[in-house]
Chain A
Amino acid sequence: MKPDVTEAVTTAIRSVLHDTGRDTKPVASTMLLAADIGLDSLDLAQTIVLLERSLGIDPFRSASTSRTVRTVSDLVSIYDHALASPPT
């Protein structure tokens, strides 16, 4: 069954905001991770660990992931892409 990546990414970001004591505002796919949501590199690192737990992969561990991640949908598409490609 194909996991709902958008849902997983949204949940992870909300968990990060909650754990760091910030308001868990609604997360939309067009939002900028840094400017709109306020995620720094540590927050992003935490998000990726949470996503590894829920989706079972970490596309950032392999050097091939060099795409810029600016928006929520950037993040979603990286995971969509990683889940679609066969594991190497």
Chain B
Amino acid sequence: MAILVGDDTRLVVQGITGRDGSFHTLQMMEYGTAVVAGVTPGKGGQTFEGPDGAGVPIFNSVDEAVAETGANTSVVYVPPAFAASAIEEAVDAEISLVVAITEGIPVQDMARAHAFARDHGARVLGPNCPGVISPGKAKVGIIPGNIVTPGPVGVISRSGTLTYEAVVHLTNAGVGQTTCVGIGGDTLIGTNFVDVLEAFADDGDTEAIVMIGEIGGTDEQEAAQWVQENLDIPVVGFIAGQTAPPGRRMGHAGAIISGSSGTAEEKMKAFEESGIAVAKRPVDIVGLIQSALSA
């Protein structure tokens, strides 16, 4: 099994003709993902040239793409000014999972897009995230396909490249993954640690979880509490930013609302108190996961 994406994924790429969109569509197709449609307004009727002569039809809207191809998942490479609108369009077309790669989307745009997605029961992953990959099944986003391998470990991370760093150590040590999920680093993200932990808990094949956090906010602390109260598979954690300078304060309001400064120390302590083994370096995740799996 796997979570979020897998053998049933039928993907529409929003922004398929852009520099990043086209490059990563090729990579997703080479990995074996079923890319069934692309959307670029004004380029409907054209065909995207995939690897080995495979063509992907391009539509003007997600609505048309869904009607014609039965797409159920979307990935967004649309530039920041229009990306929230692209997410809303996908949600309106009844796409159930929208993976938003775009970095730098205005936060107030995303407040509306997330509210719209919640109302329609759609899941948004990201934005400003690397996407999700279920090794051997489907890759949606930009996580390099050659660093993952199928196996029993679920990976969740707020970061992009740090996820790759952790995953490549697992793969090199022969520890495969069910699914690797990058939830994104923006202020407003559609899917948080707890959402992904719940999915892994229900997955059946995920035997241990790697959770990679960073400084800022309180998502990691809440995830730690959820793990302690609900999860019976082992979790290994890593927090980036132990040497980072103290972050920018959002006036008094930020401190009042979170009740926390979100330091690495605070988060590592929350992990440890919830029975999550904390790795000092990314490479140390491997040893901790191996002993968790063999316990």
A in complex with B? no
Q: Which residues of A contact B (CB under 8 A)?
A: none
Q: Which residues of B contact A (CB under 8 A)?
A: none
